[in-house]
A and B are shown apart, each in its own frame.
Chain A
């Protein structure tokens, strides 16, 4: 199970989450997004970049609430909602956006 990108092989798990987060590149994000049926826009990138920054600081993806707050700050109150994030990432902002951002899948009762 691996993504092929520019002659490089990047391993992923059964669901497409890459196994080594250091192998992530923005080109790879585009490929994963395509597999998910998502066309990356600036708003998508904003979420993905925020997730990666947060992960670098805390070694975990942010809570949905934290993400909503950050997006609200950036794009205004009409986009600062869970609903808006689901419009961007229909399978759920936490899981689908994490996959595109190259982060591990959030586990547990979520």
Chain B
């Protein structure tokens, strides 16, 4: 640690497309999962004999099973619309970080074995035999994709590189090559219930500490309950909310909102994690297991509603897959969305006048917002298209007086990934993370200089940790990042609705 040697990209006035630098990030790859990380998830402990054939076979199996995967591999016409849309390409200049090139790492092998042209005339259609060289590139460059789907917004065919990168990681896992960061974490969720490995006594101690702090701070006894049977709401939030800064300030905010709404709530130690890293590794099996913990906890505690805290990809899994993975949820109160996002909960409360917010409490701040990629492009909120952008803004604007938007080419549907999503938020990929953050850093710096922005609100645990880490590389303070519900927490007038 603290020994990285790389050049931090220069922040420019306007987003510029960098010159191509072949192999600029060929040295970047994450630590490989150890044997025990692999075996715990049912994967081979190391690269198996005959992995070439097995990987090709697995790919074919997935292409038959997942129509989308096959269409994405078949449909590309090499128009080039995606080439300058990836933050990792913009930050590194490595041509293999152009989305089409990233897809082609897998597509070249697919064509060789599963298309007529590739079988007969491989040289003419860019088809190649599976090889160690190609496989090494997979490991490197499918771990330089944060699965943020920005490229897919600009692709005329809607090809989703995220899905290809997830599939590639699943293939690699199946032949014994896993990524340490993701696989160790998935194992911890299976064993303990959360990414951190935070056991029940520590969770209780942390939540009790928050109760003390909030009461000392506000004079109001706000509860932060753990494993309370019969609570109305089960809050499922990223475990980073219990541990890290500024995440925990968001958690404090959720508690205050529930308190003022008069809604009883609890977290569960069994499902003490919203994040679902199996999305990143493309494993439906593990995605199901992690999701099912939420079902088990909801049944055990007898809750009526499930609310998710601020976590981007968790919301993607929750919004898009929770019902098919771990449903049906017919035992929950049908009057509320299943699941519901904390932003929807707070937004609804604001609309109904059920919460008193005094934005003057945040007058020391000029706030902008970073749309989390998985909230922006892989899910929705509310009832209308675009509510996933409208709700967080409405909640922020109700809590602060001075709000500023960043360059519209970098927000909402076109938002840039923070640079640490998709299972890349690990210290062994720090160079990639710093460089991949460049487009967001440029857009942020612009509003800092032009509008005096002091804080950037985020609604995802990964974004918050990533920015805390990379902002100093760009000469900005790590404490510029705040949770959306931290702003709510500051503004809420406790004791006025009780």
Contact = CB atoms under 8 A, between A and B. Distances in A.
A66 interface: yes
Given A90-B2, A108-B194, A65 B427 contact: no
A91 B1 contact: yes
B202 interface: yes
B461 interface: yes
Contacts of A92: 469
B262 interface: no
B244 A14 contact: no
Contacts of B180: 14
B27 to A, nearest CB: 15
A63 B243 contact: yes
B199 A109 contact: no
A58 B201 contact: yes
A96 B184 CA distance: 19
B242 A63 contact: yes
Interface in A40-99: 57-60, 62-66, 69, 82-83, 86, 90-92, 94-96, 99
Nearest to B184: A107
A105 to B, nearest CB: 8
Contact of A14 (B188, B239, B428): B428
Contacts of B47: none
Contact of A109 (B31, B197, B248, B461): B461
A60 B199 contact: yes
Interface string A23-39: 00000000000001100
Interface in B213-231: 213
B462 interface: yes
A107 B188 contact: yes
B196 A106 contact: yes
B206 A109 contact: no
A83 B246 CA distance: 12
A57 B200 CA distance: 12
Interface in B292-332: 311
Contacts, number: 101
B388 interface: no
Interface string B456-478: 00000110110001000000001
A108 B196 contact: yes
A65 to B, nearest CB: 5
A108 B1 contact: no
Nearest to A82: B245
A58 B200 CA distance: 9
B25 interface: no
A84 to B, nearest CB: 13
Nearest to A110: B244
B425 interface: yes
Q: Mostly helix, strand, loop or mixed at chain B's interface?
A: helix
A102 to B, nearest CB: 15
B2 A36 contact: yes
A57 B204 CA distance: 13
Interface in B181-214: 181, 184-185, 188, 194-199, 201-202, 205-206, 209-210, 213
A16 B181 CA distance: 15
A92 B198 CA distance: 19
B293 to A, nearest CB: 15
- A-side interface mostly: loop
A70 B209 CA distance: 11
B243 A15 contact: no
B275 A108 contact: yes
A60 B245 contact: no
Contacts of B213: 65, 69
B2 A37 contact: yes
A82 B1 CA distance: 19
Contact of A66 (B206, B469, B478): B206
Given A109-B240, A109-B462, A110-B240, A15 B1 contact: yes
B202 A108 contact: no
A63 B185 contact: no
Contacts of A57: 201
Contact of B197 (A14, A62, A91, A107): A107
Nearest to B181: A107
B425 A109 contact: yes
A13 B194 CA distance: 22
A49 B74 CA distance: 58
A95 B196 contact: no
B195 A107 contact: yes
Q: From B199, B240, B244, B462, name the one whose CB has the most chain A CB atoms within 10 angstroms.
A: B244
A60 B1 contact: no
Nearest to B209: A66
A74 B184 CA distance: 35
A33 B143 CA distance: 30
B196 A110 contact: yes
A101 to B, nearest CB: 14
A104 B242 CA distance: 17
Given A60-B196, A63-B206, A109-B462, A95 B427 contact: yes
User: Which 4 A-B residue pairs are closest in the complex by CB-CB distance?
Assistant: A108-B195, A109-B461, A58-B202, A109-B240
22 contacts: A58-B205, A59-B202, A60-B199, A63-B206, A64-B245, A66-B205, A69-B209, A82-B245, A86-B478, A91-B2, A94-B243, A95-B1, A108-B185, A108-B194, A108-B238, A108-B275, A108-B461, A109-B425, A109-B464, A110-B240, A110-B461, A110-B465
Interface of B: 1-2, 31, 180-181, 184-185, 188, 194-199, 201-202, 205-206, 209-210, 213, 238-240, 242-245, 247-248, 273, 275, 311, 425, 427-428, 461-462, 464-465, 469, 478-479
